[in-house]
Amino acid sequence: MNKTLAVASGGMDSSTLCYYLKERGDLAGVVSVDYGQRHRKELESAKKITQNLDVPWTLIDLTALGSLLTGSALTDDLDVPHGHYAADNMKVTVVPNRNMILLAAAGGVAVAQGASKLATAVHAGDHFVYPDCRPEFINAVSETLMVATAGFGDVEVEAPFVSNTKAEIAATGEALMVPWEQTWTCYEGGEIHCGRCATCVERIEAFHLAGVNDPTKYADTEYWRTVV
């Protein structure tokens, strides 16, 4: 049977991915990356989710990149955008070449650990802002990784949710009994989810649209209703 490593941040999408692969029967382990993100609290969630599934967790330390990948609100001293997830306000959260960096690093781990697949949780809601979440990128990086590991591991990249909305992911995760309270989404990285940043708004809306109970504690529980 193929062995799959999941690249997981600790958010609701990648946590659902881990449970999806576990249910499928080929989750061999989870890889997370510390790239100097301001919300590195998400890594604690990735570790908890991995422990729940009783598979190995590998943390790749690329923190030195944080000071080099400037111009992004995720790695630089810039305001995290509030409101709906839209191209005009989310451009500031683009980390240059992030998914290529993450998948390349995790691809090496996959070869070393004998995995044949590397899974990522990119979804349709990310396509309009992040070029490294689009189907053409996934196809290209999978082909590249297969060439780069030919004869040594032949690792390919898969993205099961690449055509799914976040609400559909919420519904899938609920069916798989993902412990939502252990996941982390907020880009602010505070003690609890802020409820105002675009990722929090997207998270709240996904649960709402899917008809799934959201156990997340938010500092602001009503802001999402006021933005258009």
| pLDDT tens digits for range 89-121 | 677 766 778 899 999 999 999 999 999 999 999
156/190: higher pLDDT: 156
- Supply the pTM of this predicted model: 0.93
Give the distance, in angstroms, between the CA of residue 218 and the centroid of all CA atoms in the same chain. 20
- 4-226, CATH topology level: Rossmann fold (3.40.50)
Question: Can you read off the two tokens belonging to residue 63?
Answer: 């923190």
Task: Report residue 67's pLDDT band, with 50, 70 and 90 as the boundaries.
Answer: confident
Query: How many Å apart are CA 116 and CA 187, to the nearest integer?
Result: 32
Between CA 180 and CA 170 the distance in angstroms is 9
Nearest CA to 66 out of 33, 88, 90, 92 is that of 33
Q: Please say whether the beta carbons of 214 and 180 come within 8 A.
A: yes
Residues 6+ apart with CB under 8 A from 88: none
- Dihedral sign of CA atoms 122, 159, 184, 224 in order: positive
The domain limits of the chain are: 4-226
The average pLDDT across 63-69 equals 79
Asked if residues 175 and 66 have their Cβ atoms less than 8 Å apart, the reply is: no
Q: Report helix, strand or coil for 27.
A: strand
